[in-house]
Structure 1
């Protein structure tokens, strides 16, 4: 995808991504306006479009809320709550236990045991939790789940006053489709708000439109040309 945007913009690895994570050991931060500010300062950029992919759909809204050199925002896809995405894969009984323990600020021993057992039964849960621990720099599954709460757009969405494009897959295996209207409802001060749901008939219903990336790219480019 970056080949498409290469001549038009800047692609960078921030904390928790690529070179920054693997070589410099920089874990992810929800305060994405900070690495964005460094990049924009370095290149003396004043009016930019910010595109966030996967969890980047969450991070890019955090950046836009505080960094007003961003004029257009693309959430590719939406991901308003990392906590909801992770716990979506868990049994209802475990979800309730996690919520109860978080409210009581428990140390998470029982939760760690339950999650470690569940990871042995589900590759999806295993990947989500292990990758999450790696990217966020946490030592236990419970600590990862607890820290995931900070990656939520509810509290900052009202600060986003730019043009926003929200993309969503009808059958996204990470982000439930009901998250789209929830995300839209929180962006109450956006200059303009556009949403696009991709379907199975388009071979684009999966997370970040895997199966038809060309359609997603075309949608983004068309929107950029239309929004002035």
Structure 2
């Protein structure tokens, strides 16, 4: 009798694409499910029709998903179903344009569509929010105030900024909804190199992030009130931007590096070395990062990118941070080495307290900014808020 050979055991997969950028951006769109900004099977069916590495296909399929989502809205009777459809459409438009080159004319349409859809969604849902236009260096910065539930004025104000490629509206799904559910009000803002500041005013990134932060805090206090406590959360590249602001802005009582970004220059050098190979010219991991650097930094060569980003280093200023510091770290972060967290903590010699939280692969939070595990980092953050700033 022939010996039976068992068939190979089959397992599920933890990846949507082999390419890290396509995989990561899929996690990013799914990350908004908890705040009603995406639906699982809508996204899975969409990525199932996207050719690996094809950025035009990526735009086309997510734009089609956004349009299909909006087409169904007139048939909705239920108010919240209508609102959430608008919010999903916003996210799908944001995702569609993400991998386009800065000069692609489709960006203009997708940008306008995502903002309009976002405003429709929040308005129909009855989410209170007010847009602010903050004067800054002859131009203006966008900010949004999301008042919390009754009594929010007496609680700490959470302030949130994005990073290298974030949008102002995206921050609602990242943190605002979760903060409101816990009784907090939130102020989100964009600075030079981001959003409308870049697209409409041509303002490119500045390493001196205390300047836009100061302007935004001033506007909030002039328009609303002076918070008893103010905590600044910086997402992605905001892991540099927020701590940099905290080193020079005494109104900040706490700062969160979500995730750590201690030394951007060394990261830029790694990407520049990778870009030298012929294979890199067809790899969205490299081409997108370089295109976005040229755009947001206002430079035209890789050498200029490296020179510019060498200024984005917390080593010279971390000792000036005197507030409470929370640093989050993903074990498998494909942008930032986890070792930068140790460097940052060691440099924060005058912080009131300094906590670093590492997320390993089994936790689900090992990706950059814990994408795909939003509730995990929320638990860390809101526990830290309760321990450090509860009355």
- Unaligned 5+ segments in structure 1 are 95-113
Contact 1:65–1:161 under 8 Å retained in 2: yes
Q: Write the deviation string for residues 140-162 of structure 1: whole angstroms up to 9, x where unpaired.
A: 22111110000000000000010
- Asked if 1:155 corresponds to 2:308, the answer is no
Within 1, Cα distance between the matches of 2:276 and 2:304? 11
Q: Write the deviation string for residues 74-114 of structure 1: whole angstroms up to 9, x where unpaired.
A: 000000111112223454xx8xxxxxxxxxxxxxxxxxxx7
- Asked if 1:4 corresponds to 2:181, the answer is no
- Asked if 1:80 corresponds to 2:262, the answer is yes
Give the TM-score, by structure 2 length.
0.50
- Asked if 1:17 corresponds to 2:191, the answer is no
How is 1:160-179 mapped onto 2 (pairs within 5 angstroms)? 160-179=321-340
Contact 2:231–2:255 under 8 Å retained in 1: yes
How is 1:141-152 mapped onto 2 (pairs within 5 angstroms)? 141-152=302-313
Within 1, Cα distance between the matches of 2:192 and 2:257? 18
Where 1:120 maps in the other structure, the secondary structure is helix
- Asked if 1:34 corresponds to 2:34, the answer is no
Where 1:190 maps in the other structure, the secondary structure is coil
Contact 1:169–1:208 under 8 Å retained in 2: yes
Give the TM-score, by structure 1 length.
0.85
> Offset at 1:8?
1.4
Where 1:73 maps in the other structure, the secondary structure is strand
Indicate the residue corresponding to 1:107 in structure 2.
Answer: none
| Runs of 4+ deviating beyond 6 Å | none
Of the two, which has the highest radius of gyration?
Answer: 2
Q: Write the deviation string for residues 118-153 of structure 1: whole angstroms up to 9, x where unpaired.
A: 641543222222111211111222111110000000
What RMSD, in angstroms, separates the aligned Cα atoms of the two structures? 1.8
Q: 1:52 aligns with which of 215, 218, 234?
A: 234
Within 2, Cα distance between the matches of 1:90 and 1:181? 24
